[in-house]
Amino acid sequence: MSDFDPGNRLIVALDVENRGQADALAARLGGAAGWLKIGLELFIAGGPDLVREYAGAGRRIMLDLKLHDIPATVERAVARSAALGVELMTIHAGGGRAMIEAAAGAARRAGATRPRLLAVTVLTSLDERDLEDIGARGPLDELVVRRARLAAEAGADGVVASPREAALVRAAAPPGFLIVTPGVRPAGAATGDQKRVMTASEARAAGADLVVVGRPIRAAGDPAAAARAMAAELS
């Protein structure tokens, strides 16, 4: 992991409906953000070809599908994703040790250009009450740290965790372990469906290597200016 250079630490989420909207937003951003995140909605709309073409054009891509299935299925899906040229991709830590190990093995076998594998700990839309509803053993921050330790032991390169747990994960994780944080908002901005949020500078100070931002940049009158301001906070 020591050879991984995050560069510009801002990942902009292309959470849009179709390829045309994604192309338009990417064009408006220019080089203001170091990374683009392709999640479930856009992946279903645009398919693997969109991912392959963006990566082939020199865009640094985080493929955020949160894979969660039996180990053999996730192993093969990681191998197919690696072939698209993505640099970061997500699985779900809730899939367990064997699944994470299988995914990590597939990522390593992709060679020098392999994607870094991130295990999603607990979604930023969940809080303590939600954990109780689904029968997960909390407290929430302890669950995040337990899953981060599991991910590290099983060979993942890092985790996705809210900025509110970033410092705890950083203290518990091995050197070089990546922490990517969604749930980042400008001071005073609406939180939407995110329940555990911080500003970009707060997330970075807490130990985040990269942050994912969607709506505050997509909805800005000048997305590139909004992205540059947030990237500056992270630098």
Please write the tens of the pLDDT for every residue from 27-59.
Answer: 999 999 999 999 999 999 999 999 999 999 999
Domain range summary for the chain, segments of one domain joined by +:
10-234
Find out whether 13 and 35 touch, Cβ atoms under 8 Å: no
Residue 86 has pLDDT above 80, yes or no: yes
Confidence category of residue 159, pLDDT binned at 50, 70, 90: very high
Amino acid identity of residue 179, one-letter, is: I
Percentage of the chain lying above the pLDDT 70 cut = 94
Q: How far apart are CA 32 and CA 99, in angstroms?
A: 35
Tens-digit pLDDT profile for residues 160-193: 999 899 999 999 999 999 999 997 866 545 555 5
Q: Which residues are catalytic?
A: 66
Does an H or E element contain 46, and which? helix 40-56
- Taking the domain 10-234, which CATH number applies? 3.20.20.70
pTM of this structure: 0.93
Q: Is the pLDDT of residue 92 over 60?
A: yes
